[in-house]
Amino acid sequence: MTATTRTETPIAIEGNGVELRTQEVGGDMSVAFARFPKGTDMGPAVKGLPDDMCQCPHWGYVFKGRLKMRTKEGEEIYEAGQAFYWPPGHVPEALEDCEYLDFSPTKEFTEVIDHIRAQAG
């Protein structure tokens, strides 16, 4: 598959207002449509990964809201209207209800998603 819409993309993670839909879109890359309600902190979900942080790089665009991204180097804020690159070693926290789209290497992203599912399990 080389194209998809949010509604066509399968749900990978869902609960407590969080919705992550992901689909491989060609080559080694996947697209993800994410929705996080205000207050969502992914720290507990990525605990146990190296440095207790997501180790998958992401390239994308924030459509709605604001996110704080914690890294070893400090924190950065991303908000609606911004394109972004998040290198490996980050933990998102929703400062407002937010929605974003990102592209990530499928293998690394699948490892993170599988870890998050196991943490929730």
Cα dihedral sign for 57, 61, 64, 70? positive
Give pLDDT, residue 111: 96
Give pLDDT, residue 119: 85
- Which residue intervals of 1-121 are DSSP H helices? 43-46, 106-120
**What are the extents of the domains in the chain?**
11-103
Question: SS3 of 49, please?
Answer: strand
Give pLDDT, residue 1: 60
Cα separation, 102 vs 121, in Å, equals: 25
Give pLDDT, residue 26: 84
Give pLDDT, residue 27: 81
Cα dihedral sign for 36, 67, 7, 46? negative
CATH number of 11-103, picked from 2.60.120.10, 3.40.50.2300, 4.10.490.10, 1.20.1260.10: 2.60.120.10
One pLDDT digit (tens) per residue for the chain, 121 residues: 688 999 999 999 999 999 999 999 988 999 999 999 999 999 999 999 999 999 999 999 999 999 999 999 999 999 999 999 999 999 999 999 999 999 999 999 999 999 999 987 7
Which residues, 6+ apart, have CB-to-CB distance to 26 below 8 Å? 1, 2
- Find the largest Cα–Cα distance for the chain: 37
